[in-house]
Amino acid sequence: MTLPSIRTLLVDDEVLARLALRQALGSHADVEIVGECGNAVEAQQAIKALDPDLLFLDIRMPGMDGFKLLHNLNPRTLPMVVFATAFGQHALRAFDANALDYVLKPIDQARFDQAMTRVRQHWQGLHAASSGSVSTVRSTPYLQRISVHSGEHIRVIATADIDWIRADGNYVHIHTGGKAYLHRETLRHLLTTLDPARFLRIHRGTVVNIERIREVHPLFQGSAEVALYDGTRLNLSRRFRMQARRALGMP
């Protein structure tokens, strides 16, 4: 499977530090640097506008620090994160923030390349799950029903009745018939159990039942919006638009 470039945003208040990141990324042909930011406020706006796949993030910056920036971002749309900082004492907190890796400045190229290997493995896993190619031969059939807690009861939902699914950390929100049910399971794992001929990943944290899609509305900068029959509108990110085109027969 040919993967798209990893669209990357660099966030550091020091120009020389951003230059060092650019140089370190120079040997990684599958990375496209889509922007640079000198502070967390700029980064917050750039992440919303550019929807990067990967964030190289400094911790100590004027005003809002890197941890506060991540806290302010929507966890459903959070890019992959690698912290690049001169302060090693924050490593444990960085991994608590779900960063993929933590590299110290000045950057050592060998250590940096190790971080990129981890990024690439995670990137491949995201696309394998979203394309249904986690396994070429399945030993078990795809899920036909899923049980979720609803108050004091357990609700059994036919997967064919699911409208769309939204990730929320180690949980998912399963939307069906105008209601949403919280289910303790990661989206990545759930995708391995759902039929890829029926369920389409349209964003890092969103999966939709193809049968519920009514229209696709192109937006600016290559993004799009998916409209469902019940009126729900969901963002189709650039990362998954090629898969959507194939699945929906779009030109």
CATH no. for residue 75? 3.40.50.2300
Q: What is the dihedral of CA 143, 145, 150, 152, to 10 degrees?
A: -110
Q: Residue 177 domain-assigned?
A: yes
Question: Which residue in 154, 200, 180, 170 sits closest to 76, CA to CA?
Answer: 170
Residues 181 and 104 in one domain: no
Q: What pLDDT is stored for residue 87 in this prediction? A: 72
Residues 22 and 80 in one domain: yes
Q: Residue 20 domain-assigned?
A: yes
148, 154 contact by CB (below 8 A): yes
Q: What is the count of structural domains for the chain?
A: 2
**Dist. CA 207–CA 18, nearest whole Å:** 34
Residues 6+ apart with CB under 8 A from 104: 84, 85, 86, 88, 111
Residues 106 and 10 in one domain: yes
**Dist. CA 20–CA 143, nearest whole Å:** 47
Q: Residue 140 domain-assigned?
A: no
Q: Which of these three, 97, 129, 161, is where a domain ends?
A: 129
**Dist. CA 18–CA 196, nearest whole Å:** 39
For the chain, counts of helices (H) and of strands (E): 7, 15
Residues 85 and 178 in one domain: no
Structural domain span for residue 170? 145-248
Q: Residue 137 domain-assigned?
A: no
Residues 151 and 210 in one domain: yes
Q: Residue 240 domain-assigned?
A: yes
Q: Residue 17 domain-assigned?
A: yes
Q: What pLDDT is stored for residue 126 in this prediction? A: 72
Q: Residue 172 domain-assigned?
A: yes
For residue range 87-133, list pLDDT tens digits in order. Answer: 766 565 655 666 788 888 999 999 899 889 989 888 887 776 555 54
Residues 123 and 154 in one domain: no
Q: What pLDDT is stored for residue 128 in this prediction? A: 67
Residues 164 and 220 in one domain: yes
Q: Residue 138 domain-assigned?
A: no
Q: What pLDDT is stored for residue 137 in this prediction? A: 46
Residues 96 and 25 in one domain: yes
180, 130 contact by CB (below 8 A): no
Residues 120 and 149 in one domain: no
Residues 25 and 122 in one domain: yes
Residues of the chain with pLDDT under 70: 1, 76, 88-98, 128-140, 220-222
Q: Which of these three, 99, 129, 159, is where a domain ends?
A: 129
CATH no. for residue 183? 2.40.50.1020
Residues 37 and 152 in one domain: no
Residues 122 and 214 in one domain: no
Q: Which of these three, 129, 160, 191, is where a domain ends?
A: 129
Q: What is the mean pLDDT of the chain?
A: 85
